């Protein structure tokens, strides 16, 4: 149905002759045609049948006559057609054709001999129906998290252990997972996908865990990855850690020279 129908002159004329409800009657009629006569051929239907399909409750034959006069329908009674049905409702008009094509495609897909015998048996066991596959196809399930443990000697695992140690040193009651594989997975993504170098990640870990603010906010590898850009920016801008006084020279925040040395 065209979106211009509510303002079409024929629609206005129909409502002037049969009342405002005639717009609803017209929609009801078209819905009836799409469901029961998708090709638009109304052969065998008489005036009463047309008005029943319209859900018309006014004067007998008045709606039928209006539809004829305004050329919503055309032809002699008993051999009627919807005017330009294929042009305006092509989807309904070609419904039978689409159904036949889908059946042929399904028959070809399930016909024995198309593909290896093992595949055919598996497909037949999976579904006794010959219905075509749904469109759109179902969204595949997401790739599961890596199940294989990371090698303890890998760079990702080493950086993960460093982060866990620093967090535990700051807060002995911090929740560190028994297995560091998931954390190592986040570090691995930083190395492979985010293209961060091991030295950059190590420097940010050292810096943020000496900072009184970030040390209580970066408590996992996932959070480290999420905030890495922000942490790197603050560290490279030379902003000192919030910690007022390092406890020893070993715990002293990295200087600009230290960072440049790590980057070289």
- Domain hosting 63: range is 5-93
φ and ψ of 82, to 5 deg? -80, 130
Q: What is the pLDDT of residue 206?
A: 95
Q: Do the domain assignments include residue 184?
A: yes
Q: Do the domain assignments include residue 248?
A: yes
The number of domains in the chain is: 2
Residues 163 and 73 in one domain: no
Q: What is the pLDDT of residue 99?
A: 74
pLDDT at 86 over 60: yes
Q: Do the domain assignments include residue 44?
A: yes
Q: What is the pLDDT of residue 120?
A: 55
Q: What is the pLDDT of residue 78?
A: 81
Number of other residues whose CB lies within 10 A of the CB of residue 260: 11
Domain-terminating residue out of 42, 60, 93: 93
Q: What is the pLDDT of residue 242?
A: 47
Instruction: Compute the distance between CA of residue 164 and CA of residue 145 in angstroms, rounded to an integer.
Output: 21
Residue with tokens 């897909």: 109
Element (DSSP H or E) covering residue 124: helix 117-126
More confident residue, 138 or 33: 33
pLDDT at 215 over 70: yes
Domain-terminating residue out of 58, 74, 93: 93
Residues 258 and 166 in one domain: yes
Instruction: Compute the distance between CA of residue 243 and CA of residue 165 in angstroms, rounded to an integer.
Output: 19
More confident residue, 91 or 193: 193
Domain-terminating residue out of 43, 68, 93: 93
At 76, the pLDDT band (50, 70, 90 cuts) reads confident
pLDDT at 245 over 60: no
At 255, the pLDDT band (50, 70, 90 cuts) reads low
Instruction: Compute the distance between CA of residue 164 and CA of residue 168 in angstroms, rounded to an integer.
Output: 6
Residues 70 and 160 in one domain: no
Peptide bond into 136 cis (omega under 30): yes
Helix (H, G, I), strand (E, B) or coil at 41: strand
CB contact at 8 A, 53 and 70: no
Tokens encoding 242: 């919030």
Instruction: Compute the distance between CA of residue 102 and CA of residue 108 in angstroms, rounded to an integer.
Output: 10
Q: Do the domain assignments include residue 72?
A: yes
More confident residue, 245 or 29: 29
Ramachandran quadrant class, 61 (left: phi over 0; alpha: psi -120 to 50; beta: rest): left
Q: Do the domain assignments include residue 104?
A: no
Tokens encoding 191: 């190395």
More confident residue, 107 or 13: 13
């Amino acid at each position: 149905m065209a979106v211009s129908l509510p303002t079409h002159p024929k629609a206005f004329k129909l409502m002037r002759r049969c009342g405002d409800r005639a717009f609803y009657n017209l929609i009801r009629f078209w819905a009836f045609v799409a469901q029961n006569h998708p090709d638009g051929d109304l052969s065998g239907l008489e005036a009463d049948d047309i008005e029943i399909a319209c859900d018309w409750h006014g004067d007998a034959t008045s709606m039928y006559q209006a539809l004829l006069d305004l050329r919503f329908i055309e032809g002699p009674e008993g051999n009627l057609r919807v005017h330009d049905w294929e042009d305006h409702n092509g989807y309904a008009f070609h419904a039978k054709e689409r159904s036949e094509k889908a059946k042929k495609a399904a028959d070809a897909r399930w016909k024995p001999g198309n593909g290896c015998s093992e595949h055919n048996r598996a497909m037949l066991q999976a579904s006794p129906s010959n219905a075509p596959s749904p469109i759109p196809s179902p969204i595949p399930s997401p790739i599961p998290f890596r199940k294989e443990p990371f090698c303890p000697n890998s760079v990702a695992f080493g950086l993960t252990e460093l982060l866990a140690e620093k967090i535990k040193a700051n807060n002995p009651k911090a929740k560190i997972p028994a297995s560091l594989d998931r954390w190592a997975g986040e570090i691995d993504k930083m190395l492979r996908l985010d293209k961060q170098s091991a030295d950059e990640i190590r420097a940010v870990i050292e810096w943020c865990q000496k900072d009184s603010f970030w040390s209580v906010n970066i408590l996992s590898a996932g959070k480290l990855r999420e905030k890495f850009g922000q942490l790197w920016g603050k560290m490279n801008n030379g902003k000192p850690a919030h910690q007022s006084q390092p406890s020893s020279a070993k715990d002293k925040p990295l200087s600009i020279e230290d960072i440049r040395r790590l980057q070289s």
